Structure 1
């Protein structure tokens, strides 16, 4: 997330109040941006947050994640301070596009809906995220602006290097090891692929409560020797090189507002096989810049076999994917966010 604040900071002066830790935290500091850490999940200290927002002299307060305590407190306090607010929604929930379910539920959550609807503008990272947040906020306030992808991923090697026949095939998964990410399907997917590519390897970069499940299931299927579980890998560290080495990236999520993994892989020129859900079906044109499939493990396995078996298709998917991802370079996204800021500032200045 460092490139976007850095590009915005070239236009504005700002602070980041974030839940970043470790390498990501240090990277934000390294580009010269003030950073104060705060978990977005745990409730903040209201007095501390009020002091921060009051004394910061901010022209606009931009909160991220609509359904966690710190952004909600920030909106509430911004209203007290009469400071313009922008909120970015990064998520979708179960049946996000099923209005008969969410419209009555949003009315039941009236106080929450009123708070969300009090912001000046909402940025949704995809049309799917816009549909979901639209149950809680007026549609005219919503702008769809995708997440940016780090410049490092565009600097990886050319897609030709993936078509070497002197090594086995490598399939990469990056993300949390949790059910909504569909990772419980990975052992079955790998088992089928390995029947045609005996030297295939699945690299898993991520951590989560399904780690032991994947390990045990892979052992039961007799493919544990084909799985490398790396744990959490820094996006600012060795992750770009993993994408560069991969012959395909698999994204089997059950729901997804906008997949950073998907965009990173595409920027790296790596063929992607992804679920036909949420924001991913907005980014990928099936058969052109990636492959979209249904939810079954067999669907993913069949698609991976097609990509791994056809170097020409793999190369074409990679080239087209990189072109699509180039629309999400940080500078381009920063320009769109800047336009939202200027619209918000102008509307406040012209209000009676």
Structure 2
């Protein structure tokens, strides 16, 4: 596997890679990951090769790997006898992965994790958004045609790539969740540790504090909840470039005291405790290719109120651990208020949530991915045999 991002950079791609690596290893496969070095927070892991990297202008969280350093690994990788390369991001990792695949004579698979057309205009503001969307789509089509097979984390992403003009093989395989490890019993009381009142309703959002996550909508919705339940708190677990802007928005709406920015919470138990402490998990992102945090919340029995857009459509079924809301502050707040009022309904959704999340056990998803690996390798071998036969 090769990726432009991995822990300590916390996002869905890092989580997906870690999940699949662990589950594939349990199934008997050997997985090596190539990813960037980070200046702080980096932890040595077996099977992870860190590539020297530099900062990305305007984006302090991410890193650029040095392309030549990746390609310099070729002799070492050739000796290991790898069967396949799996690319997870479309930057240095994509081009280096494709080049390495050609040099080693092995197939290359890519996962299309991120809907970049919905992200770029937030960061490249000096160019028209229409131009950026067009460029993102053209680049995506070109890159998708350079690999042997594609993984889409949801049916919505599959449909999006088809709409772009990608006509190669696409397999829909969502990221699983490690139910055994992730759902272990909590080691501390989250409310007590963070000095949160015992009885007040807690609404939780987990994810990057970035514009594309639509956290601003949750802040806009909050006054309608506070009108009925004035002690309610909205916890935002995550950091990112929009955090200062979100704080200002909370002040403008007069809800600053009711919005708590918790920063990143470690997956060593802190995050799990946050999910368990929350009465509801709230989510309104428009750009998710899957929405892993929804599964995490449901796996821990936290009922969800969320819009259902893009990849979250594959996860959310109204009544199965969640209430699906429109991106309308009145409708969303009404459903939040309904569940705060009705403890019995919350309990019922909590039970259904755990059952629903179990369908995404990471071992099941890793088995699907391993099957795709085998078919791709077999197809490459068949093509080579056919080419030799024609040559004779």
TM-score bracket for this pair, using the shorter chain length: 0.7 to 0.9
Q: Could you tell me the TM-score, scaled by structure 2's length?
A: 0.76
2 CA distance for matches of 1:108 and 1:4?
Answer: 27
Q: How many residues align?
A: 335
- Please point out which of 17, 29, 50 is paired with 1:12: 29
2 CA distance for matches of 1:107 and 1:196?
Answer: 44
- Please point out which of 292, 297, 303 is paired with 1:271: 303
- The 1:114–1:79 alpha-carbon spacing in structure 2 relative to 1, beyond 3 Å, is farther
State the partner residue of 2:72: 51
- The 1:108–1:221 alpha-carbon spacing in structure 2 relative to 1, beyond 3 Å, is closer
Given that residues 233 and 260 in structure 2 are in contact (C-alpha distance below 8 angstroms), is that contact kept between their aligned partners in structure 1?
Answer: yes
1 CA distance for matches of 2:105 and 2:88?
Answer: 19
State the partner residue of 2:260: 228
Listed as ranges, the matches of 1:188-199 within 5 Å are 188-199=220-231
1 CA distance for matches of 2:34 and 2:136?
Answer: 31
1 CA distance for matches of 2:331 and 2:155?
Answer: 25
Listed as ranges, the matches of 1:98-247 within 5 Å are 109=138, 113-134=141-162, 135=164, 137-139=166-168, 141-151=169-179, 152-155=181-184, 167-247=199-279
- The 1:19–1:146 alpha-carbon spacing in structure 2 relative to 1, beyond 3 Å, is farther
- The 1:301–1:278 alpha-carbon spacing in structure 2 relative to 1, beyond 3 Å, is same
Q: In angstroms, what is the RMSD of aligned CA positions? A: 3.1
Task: Quote the offset at 1:281 in angstroms.
Answer: 1.6
| More RCO (CA 8 Å, sep 6+) | 1
- The 1:207–1:302 alpha-carbon spacing in structure 2 relative to 1, beyond 3 Å, is same
- The 1:244–1:20 alpha-carbon spacing in structure 2 relative to 1, beyond 3 Å, is farther
2 CA distance for matches of 1:106 and 1:188?
Answer: 32
- Please point out which of 50, 59, 68 is paired with 1:36: 50
2 CA distance for matches of 1:180 and 1:3?
Answer: 24
Query: Structure 1 residue 60 and structure 2 residue 84: aligned?
Result: yes
Task: Quote the offset at 1:132 in angstroms.
Answer: 2.4
State the partner residue of 2:318: 286
2 CA distance for matches of 1:55 and 1:73?
Answer: 15
SS in 2 for 1:231: coil
1 CA distance for matches of 2:172 and 2:30?
Answer: 24
Gaps of 5+ in 1: none
Given that residues 52 and 69 in structure 2 are in contact (C-alpha distance below 8 angstroms), is that contact kept between their aligned partners in structure 1?
Answer: no
State the partner residue of 2:6: none
Gaps of 5+ in 2: 1-14, 57-61, 120-129, 192-196, 387-392
- The 1:108–1:153 alpha-carbon spacing in structure 2 relative to 1, beyond 3 Å, is closer
SS in 2 for 1:77: helix
- The 1:108–1:241 alpha-carbon spacing in structure 2 relative to 1, beyond 3 Å, is closer
Task: Quote the offset at 1:38 in angstroms.
Answer: 6.4
2 CA distance for matches of 1:23 and 1:150?
Answer: 26
